[in-house]
Amino acid sequence: MLQDHLISAAHLSRDDIEAVLDHAAAVDADPEFVRDRHDGRVLALCFFEPSTRTKMSFESAMKRLGGETIDMGSVESSSVKKGESLADTVRVIEGYADAMVLRHPSEGSAKLASEFVDVPLVNAGDGAGQHPSQTLLDLYTIRENAGLDDITVGIMGDLKYGRTVHSLAHALTNFDVRQHFISPESLRLPRNVRYDLHEAGAQVREHTDLDAVLPDLDVLYVTRIQRERFPEEREYREVAGEYRIDNATLAGAADDLTVMHPLPRVDEIAPEVDETTRAKYFEQAHNGVPVRMALLDRLLGGEQ
């Protein structure tokens, strides 16, 4: 059973994941049956760094369950700016809400916050750490398009700082998935994630070049390489260019390849790919709402 909080995808079992995805599928098929289920309940959105999409997706999910959301406004205008600790902030906000969603720039912040509150807390991204609710909607999209067993998944881009990648890699170890990681040398998976994949006995390979593995892939999950990670613009351009895909790059891929991206993208996927049946990133983003409805419903005790 899913714990009271959702802090890391590493804590999710196959049963937990399937329960949420099944529930999300039911919600997706008939949103009416959960409407008003959480009438009068309040979800606090604690975003210590901006993330319009994730925040709006949780907001939409809670409202479609009949509940309300409150948020703390921009960090600049809140007491956080005055030096209040995270521990104090969440203890205060706990009094205003039945559950909370936390986005924070420091790794481990969600775990820390969860130690100070009794209401369910969802980690919506802690620095370069984890982003487990994103992973649930990623898994939902993969399941819809390719199934979750006996598949080959390529994950490409910034694997070092990409929290969505860390969470997804952990979660995929619950399934029969061959994982290929494609990145520049300097943005390889961090040691702790490689350690966990190894411990889990996952089938994992690392590459610097997409071409070698592309024909084998059922799913290609692309992430953004950020300019800030490189000391020089020139260095960034060289690297980023190699990890950009368009229809020519994908020529050697399977016709039913599923191309995903947690969004926002900059230019790592050419717009021409959007027109193909391979592009599933907008569908993936839309799946955020039913999946987060299912997740919140479970955390708030609506679904037994």
Q: Which residues bind another protein (CB under 8 A)?
A: 83, 85-87, 104-109, 111-112, 115, 126-129, 191-193, 195
Is 54 annotated to bind ligand? yes
Q: Find the shortest distance in angstroms from Cβ 166 to another protein.
A: 8
Q: Find the shortest distance in angstroms from Cβ 228 to another protein.
A: 13
Residue number, 114 or 258, with CB nearest to another protein: 114
Catalytic one of 55, 131, 261, 292: 131
Cβ partners under 8 Å of residue 141, min gap 6: 258, 260, 280, 283, 284, 287
Cβ partners under 8 Å of residue 82, min gap 6: none
Structure tokens at 235: 């260095």
Cβ partners under 8 Å of residue 84, min gap 6: none
Residue number, 141 or 167, with CB nearest to another protein: 167
Q: Find the shortest distance in angstroms from Cβ 105 to another protein.
A: 7
Cβ partners under 8 Å of residue 79, min gap 6: 89
Residue number, 80 or 119, with CB nearest to another protein: 80
Q: Find the shortest distance in angstroms from Cβ 194 to another protein.
A: 10
Is 148 annotated to bind ligand? no
Residue number, 10 or 263, with CB nearest to another protein: 10
Is 131 annotated to bind ligand? yes
What 264-270 contacts at long range (C-beta under 8 Å, 24+ apart), as own/partner pairs, is: 264/53, 264/224, 265/222, 265/224, 266/224, 268/157, 268/222, 268/223, 268/224, 268/225, 268/240, 268/243, 268/244, 269/222, 269/244, 269/245, 270/244, 270/245, 270/246
Residue number, 130 or 174, with CB nearest to another protein: 130
Is 103 annotated to bind ligand? yes
Give catalytic status of residue 82 as yes or no.
yes
Is 286 annotated to bind ligand? no
Catalytic one of 5, 23, 41, 54: 54
Q: What span, in angstroms and rounded, lies between the C-alpha atoms of 278 and 212? A: 19
Give catalytic status of residue 54 as yes or no.
yes
Residue number, 83 or 95, with CB nearest to another protein: 83
Is 178 annotated to bind ligand? no
Q: Find the shortest distance in angstroms from Cβ 113 to another protein.
A: 9
Cβ partners under 8 Å of residue 77, min gap 6: none
Catalytic one of 55, 64, 103, 178: 103
Catalytic one of 52, 82, 191, 234: 82
Is 82 annotated to bind ligand? yes
What's CA 252's distance to the chain center, in Å? 28
CA 48 vs CA 31, 71, 88, 203, 236: distances in Å: 31, 10, 14, 36, 27
Give catalytic status of residue 53 as yes or no.
yes
Please name every residue paired with 103 in a beta bridge, in sequence order, or none if there are none.
47
Give catalytic status of residue 103 as yes or no.
yes
Q: Find the shortest distance in angstroms from Cβ 87 to another protein.
A: 5
List, as residue ranges, the binding site for carbamoyl phosphate.
53-54, 103, 131, 134, 263-264
List, as residue ranges, the binding site for L-aspartate.
82, 163, 224
List, as residue ranges, the binding site.
53-54, 82, 103, 131, 134, 163, 224, 263-264
Just list the catalytic residues: 53-54, 82, 103, 131
